[in-house]
Structure 1
């Protein structure tokens, strides 16, 4: 069943999801469409061709790891950006302050690092930890509950002010690698975990999600997985699996088997899922075929997957079996425009009709809010006007679903007469990133016949025009 997003000119008709006949009746009642005689005509239309091209898009895809975030080098950031990486895993290590408060100079270094991440066109998957058990002879301690609470509160303003380049925040802090096991301070106990969860939620920047490592914690806190009606903190809590596909339990991620897997499959339809593969204890039990990743990538709605570790059993096998390219393009969202119809001519200040059809070919929904804009580019002067499509939320464009957007759009007064080319843009919502095309979403459509990606604007030329009288 397609999803229908209807925007009328009265609040009661916003974002209704019902049958076409019911929507037509409601829109007519609101003066916003349907069979009403003042419905603007849709007398221009174009179709779009899909592409299998693999191109970078923000907040999704294969991730690569940075060095320690506070001291990450400009060279590393530039290299990732040049390779088309848009999402990087960023470890924030607090080993030196297990038993001390965080100093001002660390927060200054972090602010500087976020500035440089922004300049490189990247976003981050952030995790805070106190150790790395992979380092021989390393100190495996984490911090006490009191110290963790203090550190979270101290970091909160810095993270909030840089939330534009933090796509996902992994819970971290507790245990080995910050993966919520093998705590040296007794933080594997349920009460301690709950206390850290609450501290993290209090510090979580608005609109961002937390990802925890253990499904059992999520089940204990929220016995029923989040769905489209869920509100509050639960609606922003997902999972990261750092042994995805490794064996029957994903190396202890799902000790209870199918009940936990079923819970996470339902949860990840709403909240973000990502992670990495790991060295399987028994390679014969690894689910590493193309059939496995293509099935479970869709089932678990995977938004991102690390490509630094562990590649021999997994990524290399997918490449050999011929599906690695598909995996790369299916991670996260992948919006494919199919057809556009609109009013062909109008006067400035008048209302036009717009009907856009698309489908999300990716494995996941978009998790962070962003606007959708219609751009008008005057064919003679080149002047560009951006018109926000109010009430259209691309986070609702769910995987595998046909999306129909029907709008009445009021044109700004004072527009120049003549022909205007139409473009569609999904820029970042943060003003610091809104004009940077690297942070804009590119649809999965081919460049043909006047349609194509405008890399300077971060918008897709729709190959159609409107004439203003």
Structure 2
């Protein structure tokens, strides 16, 4: 019988089948066939042999430091209070140019002295949280707590494309004085001009988003027609003038005024769209082109700063529905749309023929439905109990954030840390957990209310009694009494450090067991546990891939797993303690070695890589675990989870 070699070994060598089986010569062929069956059974058993799973020598404890990750955390925002030819403004969006002759306006994007014309790409540098003081010229810092943001705030002001939008605070003040849309002396327009977005404007927007892609951040995108608040005069910005606070004019080009006689687009073939719909249709290719780096889209477009309040269109339910429908169409369905409770309620009632007056009456949206794409932005987080009129009573607030929590969406806040139970620790912890706060503007609001708080068990577990009426100051408070959960990992640090690290998701590897060895044609097995200790969850789909990297060289082999990182949910009760094993989620996978390619025999480290399915780079915007130890490989953009031997 000829020798048969498999993997360098011959299982039949020295085997005399006729003598062993005591069979006749006539049946030797049958015996040889039997031997081949035995051989192939042996081969199959070798290939499918499973090595024992071995606990890996890793540090499974959390490191209480800033871990920048995509789609979550603090962002810098664009804030200034300096006099410019555009007028004084506290919030700054990129004023999109019509052509090369337009003066660019980016505002104070650097920490320290405010400057005009600074673009950077965009705000991804270490920054200290603002303490509410030293507004001019320094609008940042003072808390002693820093973070490296991974979110770029990309606000685009389309004022130059709306005849209703003022181009500067100076022009708005002059309009208030004489009621003219043009300067009576120079004839210079005080507003933009309703028109299509030019190719120059679209390329400008692409260029700034490309800066984000070239960096290592994601874009929080907002478009509006009054991104700098020029249509809404705030007396605090001009203390020397006797101003009434409020909207001067509706900034939207779909709002009919003497300066904007038609709401409808006049471009041939698109006259069925109003100007807002047409502008968003023009932006649709950009939303899809940069899907890989867009974290979410704020549905702006209506009202001052795109905050969807005050203007006639912002208060019109039909306009709210049309706007939200348009965003649902133009933004890839992989991305959340941030809007307000009122806009979403208007859209839902008009879409489904309901008459809900409070949002928690709406059933929790099923996965994949249009309403499941809704997230919440809060431009004045915790400023008072009723949040500047956004809720009629604190009871409305509780009902709202309980619904938000059940929906498993995200909340973005613009600061505005209130001097009340919601804004101070430890009540702020309970609020953040319920609202699932994902992103926060670190340059807006008095964050010293959190940095001055010593995070220890006695302080954190002090019971908090919330109000049950709209009164902010008058006892008795008869609302619910709650107690936050103390996490010993942050014992002795300050509250702002804890909050900074808990925005959005935060992943800690708690256990890792991997195949001690694996055959080249076998299957690599891994079983582990991971804990999400953040306020929120991973909301955008991620690829979860395993990488084998040679310990003896630079060769690496990668294959997708069937894991879904969105399943790694935070504890519903906000318990991120390491001893809360009930909140440890399974991290189990098996990968056929053939899917990794032709992996040579040798010793390998096992890495887990988590990134967006459309990511174009090899190692940017990847999720890093918050474990102690040197387990992060920046070149791979992956986390070390063990080692194995391929043989």
TM range (shorter): 0.7 to 0.9
* Runs of 5+ unmatched residues, structure 1: 1-37
In 1, Cα distance between equivalents of 2:398 and 2:342: 8
Q: How high is the TM-score relative to the length of structure 1? A: 0.83
Shift in Å at residue 275 of structure 1?
1.6
In 1, Cα distance between equivalents of 2:365 and 2:371: 11
How do 1:393-404 residues align onto structure 2 when only pairs under 5 Å count?
393-400=564-571, 401-404=583-586
8 Å CA contact retained: 1:279, 1:310:
yes
> Are 1:466 and 2:604 matched, yes or no?
no
1:237-270: CA deviations, max 9, x gaps? 1111111111111112222542453233333452
1:126-182: CA deviations, max 9, x gaps? 221222135769964321432211211111111221122221111101112111111
1:335 to 489, 504, 507: 507
Report the structure, 1 or 2, having the larger strand content: 1
In 1, Cα distance between equivalents of 2:644 and 2:417: 56
Shift in Å at residue 382 of structure 1?
2.4
Counterpart in the other structure of 2:415 = 277
Of structures 1 and 2, the larger Rg is shown by 2
In 2, Cα distance between equivalents of 1:190 and 1:207: 26
Shift in Å at residue 198 of structure 1?
0.7
Shift in Å at residue 43 of structure 1?
2.7
In 2, Cα distance between equivalents of 1:259 and 1:288: 17
Counterpart in the other structure of 2:519 = 347
Secondary structure at 2:566 match in 1 = helix
In 1, Cα distance between equivalents of 2:526 and 2:76: 40
In 1, Cα distance between equivalents of 2:119 and 2:203: 20
2:438 to 303, 311, 316: 303
State which drifts further: 342-351 or 319-328: 342-351
How do 1:344-423 residues align onto structure 2 when only pairs under 5 Å count?
344-390=516-562, 392-400=563-571, 401-412=583-594, 413-423=597-607
Secondary structure at 1:109 match in 2 = helix
Secondary structure at 2:534 match in 1 = coil
> Are 1:68 and 2:112 matched, yes or no?
no
Report the structure, 1 or 2, having the larger helix content: 1
Counterpart in the other structure of 2:9 = none
Counterpart in the other structure of 1:85 = 149
1:361-408: CA deviations, max 9, x gaps? 000001111111111111112211112112x11112111232013322
Secondary structure at 1:76 match in 2 = coil
> Are 1:154 and 2:282 matched, yes or no?
yes
In 2, Cα distance between equivalents of 1:142 and 1:355: 56
Pair 75,263 (structure 1): closer, same or farther in 2 beyond 3 Å: closer
1:82-128: CA deviations, max 9, x gaps? 55221122211011111222111100111111111211222122221
What is the Cα-based RMSD across aligned positions, in Å? Answer: 2.5
8 Å CA contact retained: 1:215, 1:260:
no
In 1, Cα distance between equivalents of 2:383 and 2:293: 30
Counterpart in the other structure of 1:28 = none
Counterpart in the other structure of 1:130 = 225
Shift in Å at residue 271 of structure 1?
1.6
Pair 118,81 (structure 1): closer, same or farther in 2 beyond 3 Å: farther
1:107 to 202, 212, 228: 202
Q: How high is the TM-score relative to the length of structure 2? A: 0.61
- Greater RCO (CA < 8 Å, at least 6 residues apart): 1
8 Å CA contact retained: 2:318, 2:346:
no
1:391-441: CA deviations, max 9, x gaps? x111121112320133222112521101111112112322324x133x111
Equivalenced residues, count: 418
Counterpart in the other structure of 1:25 = none
8 Å CA contact retained: 1:81, 1:122:
no
Counterpart in the other structure of 1:431 = 615
2:50 to 40, 46, 51: 40
